[in-house]
A and B are shown apart, each in its own frame.
Chain A
C-alpha cells in the first residue's frame, strides 16, 4: 500500500524534481513500513520500492531496464538502507515492549508488596485487639470455673467482664468485616428513598445506652427531602459518628445533630463539646486503626463511616468547632425526587 502511494507521489513529483531525489521518498515509505510492522513486510517493502523505483522512475520509464550503471548502486543502497532501518526500528520496538513489560511487572510487585504490608499490619493490629478481650474472657471464665467459693461481688464482676468483653469482641469483628467488605468494593449501596429522621432514630435507639445521660438534640427540618441512600449503611455511618462523639467527649456533655439543604446537597452535622480535634489531625482520624488516646475501640469506626459516605458519592469531614469541640460534617448529593407517594386515602 505505502509503496504504491509512494510510487504515485514519486511519479508526480518526478516532473518537478531531479530524478535522484525521488529515491528518498521511497526510503521514507520503507521507513514507515519498517516502523510500524514486522521484519518480513519491511524487507518486502524495500524490494518493492526498488522495483517500483526502477519501473516507474529510472529512465527508461515503465521498463525494468537500467540505462545508467550507477542506478544499480542506488538500488543496492536503497535495499540495504531499507533492511537496516527495518531491523533497527524493529529492535527499538522490541526494547520498548520489554521495557513496558518490566514496568508492568514492577508495578505488580509493588502492589503485591503493598497489599502484603497492609495485610500484615491489619493482622498484627487485629490480633492484638482480638486478644485483649479474649484474654479478659478466658481469665474471668477460668477463675469462675476454678473457684466456686468466690465472694458474690467478685463473681458478679467477673461475669460482667465476660459479657462486656464478648460484646466488645463482637463489635470489633463486625467493624473488621464491614471494613474489609467496603474496601474490597463488595458493598454496593442498595439505595432507596429514606427520610433522614428515620435513620437518625434507628441510630439513636441503637446507641441508647452509650448516649444515656447526655443532652442530645436532633434538629431535622420537617421538609428535608428524602435521601437516596442505603438505609443500613447510612445508619451505620451515623451510628459510628455518634459513637465516636460519645466516646471522645466527657460523659454528660451535649451532642447536637442537625441537617439542612445546601444547594444540591444534604448536609448532616454532628457537633460535640469535647476536646476537639488536634490541629493537623482532621484527616488522619479517618485512617484505619487510628485510635483516640482513650479509645476502647479498634480505630475503624470513622474509617468505615467515611468509606460509606464515599460509596454514596458523598463526603465526611471533621473540623474543630468554634467555642470548643468537634464537628463532623456528612454531605450527600441530593438526587431527583422519588416517585410521588400514592396515598391510599379512604382505601
Chain B
C-alpha cells in the first residue's frame, strides 16, 4: 500500500511520554526488535488475519432478528452470526458513548483511559490496538464516529482517519461534513451510514501487501435515530408492545426530557429500528465486499455496539444505568479460518475491554500488561471455554445528566449496584428476575447474597485502585 500517510507511528512527532508508553506497550507485546508479527497459530496458516471491527451506537443486544425480535430485520447481522459466533452475554464496562468507545480501542476501563464521561478528554498517551497492529505490519483505518472529548485525537498508527466533529462529535445523519485525514470534506452521499461504508469499502479494496485493520464506527443508531428516506416508513404500521412499566409520557420525565422530547416514543423507536435496518444493509455491503475480494475466510469481522439502550424499561429512555438493557450489547464474531462450529452461541460473559486484547491475540501479538481486558480467542475454537465469573461496571458523573455515579458487580447469576448519593443499593437475581424488577436489597434473600457480592465488588475496587 503506497500513500503519503503510510508510515509508522513513530515517524510522527510524539512526546517523550507517549514514546515511552508506546515502547512499553510494544515491548510487553513482544514486538520491539522483531519488527514483525509474533507467533501465529497453526490453524490460520501462520497468516495474520485482516480485521474489520464494526461499532454501532446505542444498538441494544436483543434488537436482532436472529434473537427473535418481533419485527426488527437484521438479515446481514444474522448472516454474520450464522457464519460466526454470537456472544449472548457481551457487556460494556461503562454504558456511555465516549467511555465505552475508548474502552474498545484501548482495552482498558474508563478509570484507566481517563474518558470517564462525554466531557473528559481523550488522552493522547493512550495506546490503541490500531497502533500496536500498525507496528506489527498492518494497514489501518478508523472511519466514522470518534466522539471522544478533547477535539481530534492524535491517533498514532492510523493510516486513514475519517471522522466528524459536528454536533459535539455526534455527527449528523444527513450531509455530515467529514474530516478526512485532518481536512474537512463534504459528504459524498447524503446518508451518513452509507457514506462511511463507502469510505470503508474504498480502504478495504485498496491494493496492499499487508493485512488490514478497519474500524468502521457508525453514528447509527444514536439519537436522533434518523433512517434514510427509503426506509422511513418501514415500521410505521407496526403495533409495538412497550414495557408495562413505561410511562406513556416517559420522554417528559426528568431523566429524559433533556433530549428526545420532540416527538413521541413511538416515532423515535420506529425511527431507531428503521435506522438499524439501514445500517444492517450497509453491513451487508461490507460482507459482500470481503467475499468479492476473496478474503472473507482470513478476516476477523466483529460487530458490536458502544452500549445498549432503554426503550421504556425501568421507565427510562437512554442508557447509563447498570441494568441489562443498557449495559448489554450485541456481539458477533466471524473468523472462518480461526474458529470452529460456525453458527453457535456463546454464553460466557465478555466485555468491551476484551476487544483490543483479542484482536492483538488473533494477530499473534502478545497483549500488553496494562490492558485490563482478556482475550476471548479461546471461545472461538473451544465451545467449552470457561469465561469470567464476575466483572466490574462503573459509571461516572456526566453533566448535565442526573444519574448518580455508581459501581456494580455482575456475575452470571446476580447483580449488585452501589450508588453514590441518596439512591438505595440494588441486588438482582438475574435467573429468576431477568428484567431486574425486584430489588432484593434489604430483603432476607438480599441479605444472604450481599456479603459475597459486596466482597466481589470491593475486591474489584481494590484491584483497580479505586478504593
A and B part of one assembly: no
User: Residues of B at under 8 Å CB distance from A?
Assistant: none
